[in-house]
Amino acid sequence: MPAIIKSVRGFTPEFGANCFFADNAVIVGEVRMGDSCTVWFNAVVRGDVHSITIGNNTNIQDCAVIHCTYQKAKTVIGSNVSIAHHAIVHGCTVHDNVLIGMGAIVMDGAEIGEHSVIAAGAVVLPGTKVEPGSIYAGMPAKKVKDIGDEMREVIERTARNYPMYATWFKNEEGKSNP
C-alpha cells in the first residue's frame, strides 16, 4: 500500500527529489516539501486548512502530526529538522537544524530558533519564541540551557541519518516515492 497523498480544496502536495514516504504516511493538501525529506509510518502532514512548507532533508517520524489553523496559522518547517515520534507541530515556524523530541507539542504562533532542541514531552505554548541555540523542556516549555557541541552533533546526525534509513526501505521495495 503506498502512502496516502491527496489533493484537498484544489491543492495537491508538491515534493522535491529523493523523498521517502512510508506506506501509511498521509500527506494532503497545500504541502510543499523540499528534497530528501522523509515521512514515516502513521505520520500525518495535513495541509487542508492552511499551507505547510517544509525545507530540505527534514524527517517527520512515526505518528507525528503536522497541521495548521484555518485562516490563521500556517506551518513553516526549515531544513535539517527532525520531528520525532508522536510530536505535534501546529501552526508555527520551525527554523533550520532543529530537533523536536518525542511527544513534544509546538502550538500556534510559536517560533523555534535555529540549532534548538525541544525536549521530549515538552509543550511549547502559543506565541512562544524559542531562542536559537537553546534547549527548551517542560510543560510549559522553558529554556533550560544553551546547546553544546554534543547536542549540535545529535541534531546534525539525526537529520543526516533519516535519508539513509529511507534507502533501506527503498531497496527492499525496489522503488521510491515521488
User: Which of the four pLDDT bands, split at 50, 70 and 90, describes residue 32?
Assistant: very high
What average pLDDT score do residues 161-170 get?
Answer: 93
What per-residue confidence (pLDDT) applies to 143? Answer: 98
For residue 38, pLDDT beyond 90: yes
User: Which of the four pLDDT bands, split at 50, 70 and 90, describes residue 170?
Assistant: confident
Q: Which of 6-37 are b and which e, b meaning 16 or more Cβ less than 10 Å from the residue's Cβ?
A: eeeeebebebbebbbbbeebbbbbbbbbbebb
- What percent of the chain is predicted at pLDDT more than 90? 93
What per-residue confidence (pLDDT) applies to 174? Answer: 46
For residue 91, pLDDT beyond 90: yes
Q: Say whether domain 4-173 belongs to CATH 3.40.50.300.
A: no
For residue 172, pLDDT beyond 90: no
What average pLDDT score do residues 117-136 get?
Answer: 98
Distance CA(13)–CA(27), nearest Å, equals 7
For residue 1, pLDDT beyond 80: no
User: Which of the four pLDDT bands, split at 50, 70 and 90, describes residue 40?
Assistant: very high
Distance CA(83)–CA(67), nearest Å, equals 13
For residue 178, pLDDT beyond 80: no
